[in-house]
Structure 1
Amino acid sequence: MTIRVVVADDQELVRAGFAMILDAQPDIEVVAEAGDGAAAVAAVREHRPDVVLLDIRMPGVDGIEAARAVSGTTKVLMLTTFDVDDYVYEALRAGASGFLLKDVRRDDLVHAVRVVAEGEALLAPSVTRKLIARFTTPDHGAGHDTDLLPALTARERETLALIARGLSNAEIAEAMTVSEHTVKTHVSNVLSKLGLRDRVQAVIAAYESGLAVPRRGQAQLGGHPTE
């Protein structure tokens, strides 16, 4: 099955470079390019791609606004120049399934598109650490929502905690001594009960609720590390 992609970045060379790398793959087709957020939203609505790559900072409609507009119909992979971008958290809350730095290696870019297209979540480790650090700042405590947890069974809460550590379904199955099929059921129940789109939002929910606490060397979600 071919993965259909829209690439949106206001820098023409960056946009063209990513499009060329992706279009060269036998299972990926770049169906459109866009130079700003408004054009990206229009391209997504016209072409209905599986994945859209959005530069987080674009003139007019930025990547966050564009992500909010299209995340219900298309998987969103955000791009940024710096891993300390202040908008990382908001982009993930807007529905992004992945986050990559623009200096990502060719193979990791292709891998990221495939992972996100399959419904998994993907973050560069440095971005993950910055995201999680947000939940340890003194002024973030008011954001914890412990009301989320009673909706989950004990096994589902355990599954959510392991998702927050960056474990794959296979690794969760091993840790809980259950089958991968059972893990998939638990993950599905967690997302459904908490009204979450994907594993990225599950990680956010785990930290906001206080169920998960920061760990050193947080793993990338749903894929191999990019650094």
Structure 2
Amino acid sequence: MLIVDEHRVFAESLATALSAEPDVEAVAAGSVPAATQMLDRSRAMGSPFQVVLLDTGLTSAAPAAAGEEGAAAGTAPPPGGAGGQAPEMTAVIDALHERFPALRPVMLATEDDAPVAARALAAGACGWIAKDSSLAQLLLVVRGVLRDETHLPPALLTGVLRELTRDRHHRSERQRLVESLTPRELEVLRCMLAGLGRKAVAERLYLSPHTVRTHMQNVLGKLGVHSTLAAVALARRAGIPPAD
């Protein structure tokens, strides 16, 4: 089990406590990039992590999905800074699922928040648990997730179901945002979905890298996101296919 939390003392203490269980081996990472390296290394060694506990307040950059490193590096975020907690969190979950399909994410939350929990579950999280829960409760959730169960606090259930119902409207909104793109911007977005960086997109579409950069920034602005990864995640949910 991998615990990802920028508060290293908390993460390492939790890993130590969990590892005291005879059937649990837990380690800690202080950032998403560090966690990605550990996940890659464990998979290469033939003993991949099965569960990752993710702090809902992570602010580190999401990992690039396989083949997307160039695209992420080739696009500067538009003015305005990083996005909110939920968009960044769902981008992290999306990227982890893309890169490590068998990994089961469980969210560690400082407080119960139905809208954020609903977005996490919609992105592929398998569970949600408060940080002030007992170790026994956390182990119950983790073991349930390993049996392919989804765990959610009863107090959140009604709110999460309401939010997931509203998500039907959000899907329509994502499609509307994508439809606002010009044909050329849509081509660039599909190249981003295929994991192409700015130089590769320029060569494919016979454009200058500067023009591609402008198109990429326009795509981010029209989609209302602040990173290539978030744009790719939104496009996937809207059903946009990658470039052939």
Using structure 1 for the length normalisation, give the TM-score: 0.54
Post-superposition Cα deviations, 1:133-152, rounded to whole Å, max 9, x if no partner, equal 3257xx6663699xxxxxxx
2:147 is the alignment partner of 1:121: no
- 1:97 aligns with one of 126, 133, 137: 126
Identity over aligned pairs, percent: 27
- The one of 92, 95, 101 equivalent to 1:69 is 95
How far apart are the structure 2 equivalents of 1:45 and 1:127?
33
Structure 1, gaps ≥5 residues long: 146-227
Match of 1:59 in 2: 59
2:142 aligned counterpart, secondary structure: helix
Q: Structure 1's 34 and 133: CA in aligned 2 closer, same or farther, altered over 3 A?
A: same
> 1:68 and 1:105 mapped to 2: Cα distance?
28
Question: What residue in structure 1 maps to residue 38 of structure 2?
Answer: 43
Q: 1:27/1:129 Cα in 2 relative to 1: closer, same or farther (>3 Å)? A: same
User: Greater helix percent: which structure?
Assistant: 2
What is the root-mean-square deviation in Å for CA atoms of aligned residues?
2.3
Deviation (angstroms), 1:128 = 2.0
Task: Name structure 2 gaps, 5 residues minimum.
Answer: 43-47, 62-87, 173-244
Correspondence for 1:202: none
Name 1:28's counterpart in structure 2. 24
CA distance in 2, matches of 1:86, 1:110: 25
What letter corresponds to residue 56 of structure 2 in structure 1? Answer: I
Q: Whose relative contact order is higher, 1 or 2, with alpha carbons under 8 Å and at least 6 apart?
A: 2
Match of 2:14 among 13, 18, 24: 18
Q: Runs of 4 or more off by more than 4 Å in structure 1?
A: none
Distance (Å, rounded) in 2 between the aligned partners of 1:50 and 1:122: 16
Q: Is the 8 A contact 2:122 2:164 kept in 1?
A: no
Residues 172-208 of structure 1: CA distance to partner in whole angstroms, max 9, x if unpaired? xxxxxxxxxxxxxxxxxxxxxxxxxxxxxxxxxxxxx
Q: In the aligned structure 1, how far is the partner of 2:91 from the partner of 2:169? A: 25
Q: Which residue type is aligned with residue 7 of structure 1?
A: I
* Offset of residue 115 of structure 1: 0.9
The superposition leaves residues 108-146 of structure 1 with CA deviations (integer Å, 9 ceiling, x where unpaired) of: 01111111112111111123232123257xx6663699x
Shift of 1:42: 2.5
Aligned residue pair count: 138
TM-score norm. by structure 2 comes to 0.51
SS at match of 1:27: coil
Give the corresponding residue for 2:228: none
Is 2:110–2:130's contact at 8 Å kept on the other side of the alignment?
yes
For the residue of structure 2 that corresponds to 1:115, the secondary structure is helix
Rounded to whole Å, the distance in 2 between the matches of 1:79 and 1:43 is: 19
Q: Is the 8 A contact 2:115 2:159 kept in 1?
A: no
Greater strand content: 1
Note closer, same or farther for the CA distance 1:117–1:144 as it changes in structure 2 (3 Å cut): same
Q: Secondary structure at the match of 1:110?
A: helix
Preserved CA contact (<8 Å) 2:112 2:130: yes
CA distance in 2, matches of 1:11, 1:40: 14
Describe how 1:44-193 pairs up with structure 2 within 5 A: 44-47=39-42, 48-61=48-61, 62-71=88-97, 72-84=101-113, 86-134=115-163, 142=169
